[in-house]
Amino acid sequence: MDASSSQLDSIVAIDIGTVYTKAVLIARVEGVYRFIARAESVTTAEAPWSDVAVGTRHALEKLSSAAGRRLLDERGDLTTPQQPDGSGVDACVVTASAGKPLSVVLAGLAGEWSLESLRHAAMGTYTTLAAEIALSGGSRRAGRSLADDRIQRVYDARPDVVCISGGTDGGAERPVLELVEAAKFAARFLEVAGSRPRILFAGNAKLKPRVAETIGDAADFLQIDNVRPGLDVENVGPLQVELETMYTTHKMGRIAGLATISAWPKARSITVPAMPTARAFGHVAQYLSAENTKTGVLGVDAGGSTTTVSAAFGGQLYTTLRSDVGTSFVARFVDEVGWESVARWLDFEVSEGDIRAFAANKELRPGTIPQDTSDLRIEQALAREVLRATLRAARGAWPRGTSIPRFLGGDSNVPLFEPIIGAGGVLARAPRPGQAALLMLDAIEPVGVTTLVLDVYGLAAALGAAALAEPLIAVQALEQGGLMNLATVVAPLGAMRTRAGEVVMNVRLSYESGGTIEDDIKAGSLSVLPLSPGQKAVMQLRPRVGIDIGRGAGRGGKPTEITGSALGLIVDARGRPLGVSPDPKRRREQMKSWLWDVGA
């Protein structure tokens, strides 16, 4: 592809996270967009700075130094467009996740799927769940009617937005209207108290005129397509779009200093409005999936403050966020999953106090990094659980019964993905590639044949945003190694536990440079076959009867050429779902062995 016709010679992408602000410089070199340099600094959204422009300038100063190119003028503003002396850049794109999430109340009918669909929609952007009201469910406070209780719960939650669903199109009416009434009264009372939540109705389409009549001008109100128009049909897209628009306007728009940064691009430079990081990250998965008609594409971003799972199937994007949990904000999450769930990923003994102390301290100082191995292992163990929890929530929103995603069945509920992108500090800064790969394998439990790639420069969101300014930037920067190839993975499905120790597959790699390596893979094992970056090899897989690698049970398919990566070829025959020993001592041995197997 040729970038010579583009107006842009250089672009800076800035991502303002809750903990760190990252800046990336991409420039056209010999007609091709390439990654030049990156830098990061502590985000300064909070007091005492309360201005993200301060941290952004710090990051850009570092970027200037790293790239040997002056980016800021004497006033500390980004120089745009690129100057004849090579200083400045032609464009600047900004992504942000530092804003406070939207606080939402979800209200639906108990026993229906509408609440579930509301959850899927709300988790598509930066939201926190302030309250959930299921009509006919929940406990009533003493001395109150159910109607008053619902009003009080919405009032006490003081949300930014109340999302109401319930009733398939043409279905339930009266109970849905009761929810609308409760929201209306609560909104009225809250207005007196100084806040004005918006009411979004995404329920029974037939009720729209009556809902509009009920609310009247009592609240800021919008009708949206039903999130559950039929029992088997989910349509969360329109509500998700509305919530994301609200987040962008009401939360990102209030990040102090963001307006300063957004005003940097001047005439002749290209302006892209600041966008939520998760959306920009999702663009990359969506872009890659548009060309892939056989499998989905998965992106997982283990950020400090937010965890994002972006799955794209045939160009359709499904984003799921845990805005309440990131690798730095895990203290309450330990209560949610239990400290033992975290401890099970460790190869040494820890107490509940150790895990809780770690989580609390990390939250108090989110920008800190591990210095010793045990500290690192706990951080990575927590990241496994955070990603697993977000994936659990994400899976419910993925479509079923379509050609993609394609599930292999059996014990796995993860569809085939190619590739799987890992992002976030805990992955990108893993001291050894094996640690990042094992973390992804344990958290995601992929099946079939896939490639693990690592957003080692923290470029993915930036590329997703930059693609809006110039699509070639994303394409070429990805092709030029913007993402690091971590490993090719073969994860066979079959009765691994009952066949433990039995050979379940034969793998042969025939290197382009000459030579062959062959391995009999035993059930329960984790093996790595070397294939360095730059090398190529033909991979031939011969699964035994009952073993599926995505090509049908017992079928290995044609030999395929694979390219080298940081680790080479990983054959993960540990089975799905991944089983860890219930015996703590054996489990620690198991973890030690897995770490050893991948060179972590």
Partner 1 sequence: MRETTAYYPPETRVMPLTLIRRDRMLPAAGDILVGPGQRVEASDVVAQVELGGQFLTFEIARLLRVPPARAVRYLKKGKDDVVKAGEVIAGRMGLGVRPVRSPVDGVIVDVDERDGRVAIEVASRLFELRAYVKGVVSNVLGRLGVVIETPGALIQAALGIGGESFGVLRAVSEAPDEPLRASSIDIRAHGSIVVGGGWITASALEQAQQLQLRGMIAGSLEGDLLETARQMPFPIMVTEGVGRIGMATPIFELIRAQDGREASINGETRTRWGIVRPEILIPLPAETRPPLPPAVGAPLTAGARVRVVRGPHMGQVGTVTAIPARTVRIEIGTRVHGADVRFSPTASAFVPFANLELLR
Q: For partner 1, what does the binding mask look like between residues 296 and 315, x meaning CB under 8 A?
A: ---------x----------
d(Cα 125, Cα 320) in Å, to the nearest integer? 7
d(Cα 424, Cα 374) in Å, to the nearest integer? 20
Asked if residue 173 binds partner 1 (CB under 8 A), the reply is no
Asked if residue 250 binds partner 1 (CB under 8 A), the reply is no
Closest contact distance (angstroms) between CB of 54 and partner 1 is: 7
SS3 at position 95:
strand
The number of C-alpha atoms within 13 Å of 295 and in the hemisphere containing its C-beta is: 19
Closest contact distance (angstroms) between CB of 283 and partner 1 is: 26
Q: Select from 169, 173, 375, 519 the one that contacts partner 1 (CB under 8 A).
A: 375
Q: For partner 1, what does the binding mask look like between residues 479 and 518, x meaning CB under 8 A?
A: ----------------------------------------
Residue 500: closest CA among 574, 570, 553: 574
Cα dist. 113→107, 119, 222, 572 in Å? 12, 10, 21, 36
Q: Select from 42, 110, 503, 538 the one that contacts partner 1 (CB under 8 A).
A: 42
Asked if residue 181 binds partner 1 (CB under 8 A), the reply is yes
Q: Restricting to residues 128-167, which ones interact with partner 1 according to CB under 8 A?
A: 143-145, 147-148, 151-152, 155-156
Are the C-beta atoms of 271 and 9 separated by less than 8 Å? Answer: no
164 φ/ψ angles, rounded to the nearest 5 degrees: -120, 135
Q: Select from 329, 333, 398, 594 the one that contacts partner 1 (CB under 8 A).
A: 329
Asked if residue 73 binds partner 1 (CB under 8 A), the reply is no
Asked if residue 448 binds partner 1 (CB under 8 A), the reply is no
Asked if residue 364 binds partner 1 (CB under 8 A), the reply is yes
Are the C-beta atoms of 184 and 155 separated by less than 8 Å? Answer: no
- Strands 526-529 and 569-572 come out as antiparallel
Are the C-beta atoms of 495 and 574 separated by less than 8 Å? Answer: no
Nearer to partner 1 among residue 71 and residue 416 (C-beta): 71
- Strands 316-322 and 484-491 come out as unpaired
SS3 at position 378:
helix
Which amino acid, residue 249? T
Closest contact distance (angstroms) between CB of 494 and partner 1 is: 36
402 is written with which tokens?
A: 């379509």
Closest contact distance (angstroms) between CB of 167 and partner 1 is: 21
510 is written with which tokens?
A: 């025939």
Asked if residue 70 binds partner 1 (CB under 8 A), the reply is no
Run of H or E residues at 503: strand 503-511
Nearer to partner 1 among residue 361 and residue 516 (C-beta): 361
The angle, 0 to 180 degrees and rounded to 10, between the axes of the packed helices 584-597 and 433-444 is: 130
Q: Select from 28, 34, 58, 384 the one that contacts partner 1 (CB under 8 A).
A: 58
d(Cα 253, Cα 249) in Å, to the nearest integer? 5
Dmax of the chain from CA atoms?
81
Q: Restricting to residues 338-357, which ones interact with partner 1 according to CB under 8 A?
A: 351-357
Closest contact distance (angstroms) between CB of 503 and partner 1 is: 35
Q: Restricting to residues 88-107, which ones interact with partner 1 according to CB under 8 A?
A: 100-101
Which residues contribute to the site for partner 1 (CB under 8 A)? 18, 37, 39, 41-42, 44, 46-49, 54-55, 58, 61-62, 64-66, 100-101, 143-145, 147-148, 151-152, 155-156, 181, 185, 188-189, 192-193, 216, 305, 329, 351-358, 360-361, 363-373, 375-376, 429, 431-432
